[in-house]
Amino acid sequence: MPNHAITAENLTYRYGDLLAVDHINFDVAEGEILGFLGPNGAGKTTTVKMLTGQMRPKEGKATLLGMDVTTQTEKVQAQIGVCFEIANLYEQMTGLENLKLFAQLFSVKNFDARALLDRVGLGERGKDRVEGYSKGMKQRLMVARALVNQPRILFLDEPTEGLDPVSAESIRNLILDEAKRGVTIFLTTHDMLEADKLCDRVAFIDRGKIAVLDTPHNLKQQYGKRRVKAQVTGHDGKLENREIRLDTDATATDLQKLFSAEKVITIHSEEASLEDIFIQITGRGLA
């Protein structure tokens, strides 16, 4: 058994002169959810394409489940599920037919299309043509399709982007379920809150390089500044905001002063978000 589901060693891709993915190195453990976060053009999709055997690295190597992706592409692809942002479903066919067709392409037997549709909340709509599905339903069908071959690694590219809250939540639950079953998840996203909720570790990718890779908890401990935010009544009776940094030598006295000298109306503590930390590390936001 390999120790890691995914290993990238010096993985590199150039489009002509443009270095899109720049000698990146990382491992993903089996059953881990790794968030791959970065702004547009950071190199996320290019990395996924190399990891899934759709593009050959210009330098370096990707290994999935102990197999070299470049030399054992078909074997690797039989063990993975891939869901990309752009829906490429057969619109004239029903949801069930789409899944069955995909199962045939993969030569998957023992496959229960109905149960899979139920899992993504489309059980009732399985016999309807996909052209009548909403964006969220199509996305859920795409995720279901990526699960047809019971993959050991699932690659999801922005799986909840632009979806209604119900569809987004059902996809998030499915991701967590799959990880509990031991499936490794490689999730690319712009959504820092989602990454924070779902991912065991997150990699920040910026200009083709991995700027940092760690658990959300460790990143917040290392880079995040926790603070207390309070609203107080000012001299003219209007509300004013106060902010006190936690974890400094002055925290205790500052808090004492706040309560003795001001009329505190509301108070709450806040920890840095992954978005704040991303900006701190890379000098720019995700937008």
Residues 30-59 that bind ligand ATP (CB under 6 A): 38, 40-46
Which residues have CB under 8 Å from 166's CB, separation 6+?
121, 136
Side by side, the strands of the sheet bearing 263-270 are 239-245, 227-233, 263-270
Q: Is 285 in the site for ligand ATP (CB under 6 A)?
A: no
DSSP line for 66-118: TEETTTSHHHHHHTEEEE-SS----TTSBHHHHHHHHHHHTT--S--HHHHHH
Which one among 20, 24, 213, 274 touches ligand ATP, defined by CB under 6 A?
Answer: 20
Q: Measured from the CB of residue 157, what is the shortest distance to ligand ATP in angstroms?
A: 8
Which one among 15, 162, 234, 239 touches ligand ATP, defined by CB under 6 A?
Answer: 15
Q: Measured from the CB of residue 204, what is the shortest distance to ligand ATP in angstroms?
A: 12
Angular region, 32: left φ>0, alpha ψ -120 to 50, beta rest: beta
Q: Which stretch binds ligand ATP (CB under 6 A): 13-21, 104-112, 160-168, 218-226?
A: 13-21
Say how far apart CA 10 and CA 3 lie, in whole Å.
Answer: 19
Q: Which is nearer to ligand ATP, 45 or 282 (CB)?
A: 45
Q: Check if the beta carbon of residue 184 is closer than 8 Å to that of residue 152.
A: yes
Q: Is 277 in the site for ligand ATP (CB under 6 A)?
A: no
Q: Is 189 in the site for ligand ATP (CB under 6 A)?
A: no
Q: Is 116 in the site for ligand ATP (CB under 6 A)?
A: no
The residues of the shown chain that bind ligand ATP, judged by CB under 6 A, are: 15, 18, 20, 38, 40-46
